[in-house]
Structure 1
Amino acid sequence: MRPLRNPVIQAVLAWLLAGWMRFCFATIRWTHQNRGVAEAVWDAGGGVLCAFWHSRIGLSPACWPLDRAQPAKALISLSPDGQFIARAVALQGIPAVRGSSANKDKADRAKGGSQALRDGLRQLKVGALAITPDGPRGPAREMAEGLPLLARLSKTPVLFIGLSCSPAIRLSSWDRALLPLPFARGAIVWDVAHYPEGAELTDVALAWTERLNTVEAAADAITGLERI
């Protein structure tokens, strides 16, 4: 039995991870670039999609000030690992919308994806929805069509968020995920877009992949983190 399938172990580890992340975020020296585009979206209120690559999910709560921005939820997969991440993120004030297109069973995949789409659109009527558009299984830094589809249907702005921290723990997962270390140097870089009228989902996914890579590379350049 995998440890993360045990609800007690999962809850304890999620609590420890959330506490570690809060401590790190409080001690990291943060640099913000182009934050004005995010502040304009926060001031406008309403729905907004927030996108960052899956490898930076461990840094993501640092980019969303709960006392300043819209209330947010995170789209997190239905897998046991996704439940673990959902618990840790929820402990930092960002509850989850559960769903994914990567479940093994085709029927479950369709059911979970459809439910996540409905719940995501419902959330976008009142606040923010955070998405890792290459998750939960990759390929890393390749955007699927889920984010552009949500943007087209909801007509909400999309914030591309580049997150970086150095030094950091780099896991051996498929995406080489980062976990923060205390007293490190951190960076958050912003960009914003709307779904282009009449554009194809595939074309938008390719264009937005480049934009998300650009802000992440800019954040890594600030912190000095080696890109893989």
Structure 2
Amino acid sequence: MLKRLTRHPRFLAAAARLLGLYIALVHRTTRWTLAGDAAIAALQARPGPIILSFWHERIALGPRPWIGMQRLVPALRPKRPQVLVSQHRDGVFIGEVVARFDLDMIYGSTSKGGSQALRTMLKILRKEGVVAITPDGPRGPRRVAAPGVGQLAAVSGAPVLPYAAATTRGFRLRSWDRMLIPLPFSRGLIVLHPPFTVPPHAAEAGRAAVEAALTEVCDAADAWAEARRAGRGGEAELAAAQAIARRAPPAFPAPPAGPGTEAA
């Protein structure tokens, strides 16, 4: 009976509301630091379209960097990101939670509804919109990007903006992604990787670049949080995160030579 109760739509709606309120409390009571000069400058120069990207383990912190971007880039304020979530029951529940942060949902995955979801995201990006993807969701492997993010970036030509956030207080679940659950009244760091575009011929290289960038910003944010917890201040770790946030975008291989073209 308890299992049936926890699957009832009214129970799930109430749980989603409570979890959304809790996440909002965490966001509002955390003192945030931003490492993202290059990303903010790029967004000010070109506020759309954008492919936001973060690891599945950071879903509880996922909306907060976008809120910060909107505050710093006024042209982003009217935009509502469309977040890709699984059609599975867990994905629908997550969608109910994050929808409370002025985000809209696109339901789909690589196994069910993926092609339709990709077409929907392409339409949004062609209208200068914003989409958000967790490339290792909904089932992993952890921190391994699926092909979809590289394909979307290569076909759309929209820049990908990988980011991560970490807090000094929190714990991890024993889930496949080791999901981070932040606690209120923390210090937090947001690391924005400089956005980059993926050439049409380089979908796989783009996927690998997104994976590397996401792991890098996650590790940088976590290193800062760990230093703060250990009482070291985190100045060196913050400087390292700021260096990541200012670096040049990744380079991609040249397109293959066409018929009748001689290799150099």
TM-score by length of 2: 0.77
Q: Secondary structure at the match of 2:201?
A: coil
Q: Distance in 1 between matches of 2:201 and 2:119?
A: 22
**Aligned mate of 2:161, from 159, 167, 176:** 159
1:217 is the counterpart of 2:226: no
User: What do residues 90-129 of structure 1 show as CA deviations (whole Å, max 9, x unaligned)?
Assistant: 1111111110114xxxxxx2xx011111111122223211
Change (3 A) 1:178 1:153: same
> Which structure's CA Rg is the greater one?
2
Q: How many residues align?
A: 217
Letter in 2 for 1:30: W
Matches of 2:207 and 2:4, distance apart in 1: 35
**Partner SS, residue 208 of structure 1:** helix
Which one of 71, 96, 100 corresponds to residue 87 of structure 1? 96
Equivalences for residues 24-173 of structure 1 within 5 A: 24-65=26-67, 66=70, 68=74, 69=76, 70-102=79-111, 109=112, 112-124=113-125, 125-173=127-175
Q: Report the Cα offset of residue 45 of structure 1.
A: 2.5
Q: Report the residue type matching 2:149 in the other structure.
A: L
| Inter-CA distance 2–54: structure 2 relative to 1 (3 Å threshold) | farther
RMSD: 1.9
- Cα deviation code 1:24-72 (max 9, x no counterpart): 1011111110244135325522210001100001101101125642321
- Is the 2:153–2:206 contact (alpha carbons within 8 Å) kept by the matching residues of 1? no
More displaced 10-residue stretch of structure 1: 190-199 or 35-44: 35-44
Secondary structure of the corresponding residue to residue 142 of structure 1: coil
**Cα distance 1:146–1:24, how it changes in 2: closer, same or farther (>3 A)?**
same
Given the alignment of the two structures, is residue 14 of structure 1 paired with residue 16 of structure 2, yes or no? Answer: yes
Q: Residue 30 of structure 1 aligns to a residue in which SS?
A: strand
- Give the percent of matched residue pairs that are identical in Structure 1 and Structure 2: 39
Opposite residue 117 of structure 1, the aligned amino acid is L
**C-alpha distance in 1, partners of 2:179/2:102?**
21
Write the deviation string for residues 176-215 of structure 1: whole angstroms up to 9, x where unpaired. Answer: 101221011211111121103532x323222321111111
Please list the CA deviations of residues 122-177 of structure 1 after superposition, one character each: whole Å capped at 9, or x if unmatched: 22223211100000000000011100111111110100102212211311111010
Structure 2: 5+ residue stretches without partners: 230-264
Of stretches 129-138 and 178-187 in structure 1, the one that deviates more from structure 2 is 178-187
2:179 is matched with: 177
Instruction: Give me the whole-angstrom Cα distance separating, in 2, the residues matched to 1:217 and 1:47.
Output: 27
